[in-house]
Structure formats: C-alpha cells, structure tokens
A and B are shown apart, each in its own frame.
Chain A
Amino acid sequence: MLLVSLDVGCDRQDRDCTPTETRAAVDPALMSFLSRARAAHHLADNQEQSQPAQALETLRSVLSGPRPGSPNHLAPEVREVLADTSARVADVESQLEQFENATQTLFGALPWVPDASYYRGHLFEVLGLVEERRTRALERQGNVKEAATARDRAMAAFEESMRIQADVIRTSSADAGK
C-alpha cells in the first residue's frame, strides 16, 4: 500500500514532492488556513509600527492556531507558510529584544522546511539578523565577550543562508534550462 501510494503520489521527476508526501487536492481547509494567515499578516502590517507587541501576538496566533490535516502530514503550503511566519515572528521578537524567543522560534521552524528552499534560507537569514541585533544590544550593555559570540553566530547564520540560497538558485537554473 505504501509503495502504491508513493508511486501514485509522487512523480520521480517532481522535485516538489518528497518521498514522505502523499498529494492531496487543494481543498477548503487548506484555503481557510491560508486565508487566516494572510489576514494575520495584513493585520500585523498595520500594527507593527505603532503596536509591535500586538503585531507579535497576531502573527503568533498563526503558529499556534489550527492547521489542516494531521500533525505528521502537513501540506507543503502549510509548512512553508508556518516557516515564513516564524521568520517574521522572530524578526519582530528581535526588534523587541526578545532574542531568546526569536532564536527558539527560528529553530522550531526549521523542521518544517528541511530541504534547501527559499524558506529555509530565509530562516537562517533572519537568524543572522537576530544575532546581529543581539550583538548590538550586548555591546550597548558593555558585554564585549558575549557580543563577540553573538557576532560569530550571526556570521555563521548568514553564511548558511547564502549556501542554501545558492543551491536554490542553481537548482532553479538547472530546471529552467531543461
């Protein structure tokens, strides 16, 4: 049964389908999730400047809210939107100097996008930004040693982001040339 479902669910040439996925049609439950996430992001756009804490709660509700499908078989769109939203949540958290929360948010999102993709690269990019902000905050506090450690983490995160995105670009170019 598993082999049959793999054969039917995933085309071997299809890079968008991982071996653990079985495809499902776009359905109302998926659209409800996307609609809710979209509304949350637009709400946060209006709240972010004047009420960043409120914007943070709005975006966090996407991460903690209902998800279509079973927990172990989330649709690709759901995982990617959760990852993208996590990146934004972490960005806002770091702006509010909640650096530990921000890093936990980012590390919690990485399993949703295990393959090299824009979303995974973006998570590491935001991680670099979070550690950069932490560096500046520590420097302001006079904590030079920890600031240096944070700076190293920021550089490592940026380098990982660049590596992932380079893979994505190469893969996209290879597919485009076919």
Chain B
Amino acid sequence: MTSRSNPDWLAELIAKEGDAKLIEAQERDSLLTAIGSAASPEVLDPHRHAQILKAALSPSENSALIDDDPLAPPCTNEVIAAAATRKNIEADPLVSLLRAAYVPSELAPDLARSILSSTLTSPRPLTHHNSKAPSANFWGVLAVAAAAALWVAHATQPRLDGLSPTGQSLPNLAQSRTTRSLFSNSFAYSSASERIDRIAQVRQRELRNNRYLMWGLP
C-alpha cells in the first residue's frame, strides 16, 4: 500500500494502469517537479522572465518560431502550393460560371443577334438591303419589353424616401389627418402619454398597411 508521501507512488500508479515499464527515477522527479510547478507556480525572477520573453519574441534566435509566425513571408513550398491551388480553382467550371455571372464579358455581335432572333422573333428571310442588321420589328419588340420592365419596376419599387407626398395616385392609402376621432371621451380620462401612445399605435399600423399597398400586397 503506497501513499502520496511515498516518492515511488507515481511509478506504482503507472504500473497499475497497465504500463509494465516503471518510470525512471530521474524522469519521475522531473515529472513531479513539472506537475508541482503547474499546480503552484513560483514567481519568476524578473531577469529570467525577460530572458524567456526575448527568446520567444526573437524569431532569429529561435528558428522554430518562424514556421509558426502567421505574418512571416511564404516559403517556397507554400508558394508552389498556392499556385497549384489557384490553377485548380481557375479550371473549375463552377468558378467560370460564377465569374461570367458577376462580371459578364461582351457578347460577340453575331452571337448576340442570333440569340435574340431565335428567342424573340420567328425565323424570317433577311431583307436584301440590310441583310446583317436587326429588323425594325426586332427593335420594336425590344423597346416594348424594356418599357414594360421599367413600368413594372417603377410601380413595385418601394420609395426610398418614404411614400408619395400626396399619396393621391394610389388608392386606399391611410392619410395623415386629425387624431380627434381617436378620443371619443374627454381628455380628463387620459394622460398625455396615454394619448400619444394611442396616436402612435394607430398611425404605426396605418404606415405598415401603406407600405404593403405600395409594394402591391393586399
């Protein structure tokens, strides 16, 4: 039976855990010292503390720190690995699609014309006087489509500066008006705070409804 006062208790403990090899006495002592220091650290001598800090913060004196410094310049292997990664990314078809969607390049005029003509108009023989230019019908259809898109965008876009100052063009918008109808009883039964609460609550609900109407919601 061993106790903690017995310096061999650590070795016996490890032996019980299954490690058949007993710890060397020197190693045991070092381990005990380390555990004791961690449990009850002593105050470092200031000079020794400065030495430790200098050694830790001076990469040139401690080459092991260079590899861990996130701000250090890349080494050769890192540069090679970065180039390979970039090449793989560039070759990914998904990246090409995303780039085309974000920064689309100009279409060749012939390609653009063929796309538009195949989608907007039925195939028809080109006129002899201008066989390469889009027909008048094509431009007419495009103009109508653009005008319709603008009209829809204007009608549904919520105004960034709030609602129309007159509100006359849209029906059923709640109008700014006197608050008398909110107070059927005399002011004697309400405080100023209660009155402003009532006013703000009702107008807040009306503003919300106005917004929904402006957005085209019922």
B contact residues around A88 at 8 Å (CB): 192
Name which residue of chain B comes closest to A8, CB basis. B168
With contacts A76-B177, A165-B186 taken as known, whether A25 is within 8 angstroms of B192 at the C-beta atoms is: no
Q: How far is the CA of A80 from the CA of B181 in the complex (A)?
A: 12
B contact residues around A25 at 8 Å (CB): 163-164, 166-167, 170, 173-176, 210
State how many angstroms separate the Cβ of A12 from the closest Cβ of chain B: 15
State how many angstroms separate the Cβ of A120 from the closest Cβ of chain B: 11
Name which residue of chain A comes closest to B168, CB basis. A8
With contacts A38-B197, A41-B193, A118-B187 taken as known, whether A23 is within 8 angstroms of B175 at the C-beta atoms is: yes
Question: Number of residues in A with C-beta < 8 Å to the partner?
Answer: 38
Could you say which of B166, B177, B195 contacts A84, with CB atoms under 8 Å apart? B195
State how many angstroms separate the Cβ of B32 from the closest Cβ of chain A: 64
Q: How far is the CA of A71 from the CA of B207 in the complex (A)?
A: 22
With contacts A26-B210, A117-B180 taken as known, whether A31 is within 8 angstroms of B203 at the C-beta atoms is: yes
State how many angstroms separate the Cβ of B213 from the closest Cβ of chain A: 9
Interface positions of A from 105 to 128, Cβ below 8 Å from B: 117-118, 121-122, 125
The answer to whether B186 touches A81 (Cβ under 8 A) is no
State how many angstroms separate the Cβ of B187 from the closest Cβ of chain A: 5
Q: Size band of the B side of the interface? A: 20 to 34
The answer to whether B180 touches A26 (Cβ under 8 A) is no
Name which residue of chain B comes closest to A37, CB basis. B196
The answer to whether B187 touches A122 (Cβ under 8 A) is yes
State how many angstroms separate the Cβ of A133 from the closest Cβ of chain B: 18
Q: Is A157 an interface residue (CB 8 A)?
A: no
Q: How far is the CA of A27 from the CA of B173 in the complex (A)?
A: 10
Q: Is B162 an interface residue (CB 8 A)?
A: yes
- Chain A 40-53, CB within 8 Å of chain B: the 1/0 string? 01101100000000
The answer to whether A77 touches B210 (Cβ under 8 A) is no
Q: How far is the CA of A42 from the CA of B162 in the complex (A)?
A: 27
The answer to whether B200 touches A23 (Cβ under 8 A) is no
Could you say which of B195, B197, B207 contacts A28, with CB atoms under 8 Å apart? B207
Q: How far is the CA of A34 from the CA of B181 in the complex (A)?
A: 17
The answer to whether A27 touches B163 (Cβ under 8 A) is yes
The answer to whether A77 touches B178 (Cβ under 8 A) is yes
State how many angstroms separate the Cβ of B109 from the closest Cβ of chain A: 47
Could you say which of A23, A29, A34, A85 contacts B162, with CB atoms under 8 Å apart? A29
Q: Is B165 an interface residue (CB 8 A)?
A: yes
The answer to whether A38 touches B165 (Cβ under 8 A) is no
Q: How far is the CA of A168 from the CA of B204 in the complex (A)?
A: 26
The answer to whether B200 touches A16 (Cβ under 8 A) is no
Q: Is A63 an interface residue (CB 8 A)?
A: no
Q: Is B37 an interface residue (CB 8 A)?
A: no
Q: How far is the CA of A85 from the CA of B204 in the complex (A)?
A: 19
Could you list some 7 contacts between A and B, CB below 8 A?
A: A16-B178, A24-B167, A25-B164, A34-B200, A44-B193, A77-B176, A81-B196
The 8 A-B residue pairs whose C-beta atoms are closest, nearest first, are A25-B167, A27-B162, A75-B176, A76-B178, A25-B173, A27-B163, A41-B193, A88-B192
Given contacts A8-B168, A25-B167, 4 further A-B contacts (CB under 8 A): A16-B177, A25-B166, A25-B176, A84-B196
